[in-house]
Chain A
Amino acid sequence: MRLGFAVGVLAAVGYGLVLALDFPHGSRLFPLAIGIPTMILAAVEVGRQAVRRRRRAPGEVDPPAEGVPAVSRTPVAWTYALIAGAFLFGVEWVAPLFIFAYLKLMARWSIIKAVASAAAYYLVITTLSGALGLRIPPGWFSG
């Protein structure tokens, strides 16, 4: 993953630099002044990681930098299901539904407690939005 991420940064910066060449003169000064050294740094990091990888024993995997991984299947699936659902159908309804489903399935709460928690969240958010004049945008499909 370390090498992959370094390559990703290098590719993103490189692609950005190629696009920046078409900017008007005044607009490309800063992107190039920052982008070129950044690309060099990213390339050095790719080289370092490639060397590390070559020296590693076959089948050996880098442990997460902090011991416990941030990228793991179940938490990522739940979190991105919420983000995708909120994007498509709107936060207002998807978030309480997510809270209910998570508390029921992961925390193994009773249906009544899970529904009450989701309802409490909905009430707090709608009250806060009403009081502070905050906007809750509809989703991609519901808008």
Chain B
Amino acid sequence: MTDIVQAIPGALAEVFQLSNLGFLVFGVVVGLAVGAVPGIGGFSAMALLLPFSFTMEPQAAIGMMLGIAAASTISDTAPAILFGVPGSAAAQATVLDGHALARKGEAARALGASYSAAMLGGLFGAGFLLLAIPVARVLVKAFGSPELFALGLIGVAMTGSLSGNAPLKGLAAGGLGLLLGMIGFDQVTGSLRWTFGSLYLYDGLPLVVVALGLFGIPELLQLMHGGERISGGDNPTIGSILEGIKDTFRNWFLVIRTSAIGVFTGTVPGLGGAVVDWFAYGHALQTEKGAHETFGKGDIRGVIGVDAAANAKDGGGLLPTLFFGVPGSTVTALLLTVFLVHGIQPGPALATTGVELTLAIVFSLVIANVLGGSIMLILGKSIAKISLVPIHIVSPIVIALIVFASVQATANPRDLLVLGVFGLVGAVMKDTGWPRPPLLVGFILSPILERYYFISTQRYGYSWLLRPWVVVALSISVFVVVGAIRQLRKVRRRASEVAA
């Protein structure tokens, strides 16, 4: 512990060196800009700047990359709240309550809550990474394939609680999502599943396009059919932004809980950003008072919980990347490349001999989150004004952006066919009361679950089912499903009492 304290001044000096800080700020600005464009995300900018980072000083390169990664997950909530179009995979669940708030004329409040929660979540993630340095090895080793499989099962079980008042439809949609996620090349046996002879389907359906189709297109179709503007409210004010910030601090315990979920999900290789928001949303829905009646209709807690988790995951994701050399996502894989190019060997040694570098990464993450969150809060009022622009002016540009973002998935025109099909499926699901989140969660978790199940069974037979963490996780899965059904019964009983 003393070596960590002794390394703090050196790490701070490294981070605050003018050129290093300049590149960190540059990364934050780039991250904020690309994060706000649906479907692009921080990964593209990181990939583009990767070759330039090779010739930079190590800390400058790492700072720039961390700046992009952290800031892009702060600004990606703006299109989700304003248009119902997630800016990235981690902003999918923000659509549910964030966009509902915008339509009620509370876009500025939702943005204020989103950015402040994201900032706090990011700080929580950085804090976790700091505390994890002495116990990193034990933490990562505690989770093998069986535990990761069981964790995925919790996610699937949570689809029941993401289904509002329709757990049956939710579970069916979750099952459908799991099946859709199996399309393509089976990594376990090497055979093809449901590809119908199409080369395009060998790699499966692209996640970005499926998400944009399920969420982006239906929201826009509904907006185009409906009112004159996204929001019927008054001009957004600084007061509304401040109200959102106050909401975040009022719900501090939710921020802590969902940040912990974000950190934990971030540490699991392969889970990361695509499901962290749904895990957090499901948790908030199950634990917050009255959430079953208000979530999905514009409850600020639905925004706060999700965005805190989405940013906290970066700290968690760095844990296996730094101490085991196992990147949890594409973003951390790029960071790992930067480390290796600069001769930094990830591994448990970073928790002992490389503690100064690890601390510098923690401090960079803190600065990126505070700076990114502050910039977005300052710009929040102007961003919220977009909700007052007539929808006939905004919608063609947003739809054109969705189409542009979709073809970035595989650079194949067939992405547009997938977008069209899932757009229509999403719109019909919206009109018929089928919940869309379970379908997406199932789709994301499908390959992960299958892979971990295969590895677990190959390595341990079926004895892995009795491992303590697996038993705990399986129990939680059952508890989540039973809890959702009981909650539904309670809501229905209350509704029939009110009707009587």
Contacts and interface: CB of A to CB of B under 8 A. Distances in A.
Q: Point out which of A44, A62, A132, A138 has the most chain B C-beta atoms below 10 A from its C-beta.
A: A132
A120 B56 CA distance: 35
A12 B425 CA distance: 12
Interface string A46-82: 0010000000000000101110111110111011101
Contacts of B404: 91, 95, 125, 136
Contact of B224 (A19, A24, A64, A75): A75
A119 interface: no
Nearest to A99: B396
A132 B407 CA distance: 14
B40 to A, nearest CB: 7
Contact of A65 (B219, B392, B432): B432
A125 B189 CA distance: 41
A90 to B, nearest CB: 8
Nearest to A87: B416
B407 A70 contact: no
Interface residues of A, number: 70
B194 A19 contact: yes
Contact of A2 (B172, B193, B395, B432): B432
B428 interface: yes
A5 B434 CA distance: 9
Contacts, number: 192
Please classify the interface of chain A as helix (H, G, I), strand (E, B), loop, or mixed, using the class held by over half of its residues.
helix
A119 B495 CA distance: 53
A13 B175 contact: yes
Interface stretch (B127-135, B178-186, B245-253): B178-186
Contact of A69 (B40, B225, B434): B225
Interface of A: 1-2, 5, 9, 12-13, 16, 19-20, 23-24, 26-27, 30-31, 34-35, 37-38, 41-42, 44-45, 48, 62, 64-66, 68-72, 74-76, 78-80, 82-84, 86-87, 90-91, 95-96, 98-99, 102-103, 106-107, 109, 117, 121, 125, 128, 131-140, 143
28 contacts: A1-B431, A5-B434, A12-B176, A13-B175, A20-B193, A26-B191, A27-B191, A45-B168, A64-B430, A64-B431, A66-B222, A66-B430, A68-B225, A68-B226, A70-B221, A70-B428, A71-B221, A71-B431, A72-B221, A75-B221, A75-B224, A76-B221, A79-B423, A82-B403, A132-B45, A134-B408, A135-B411, A137-B407
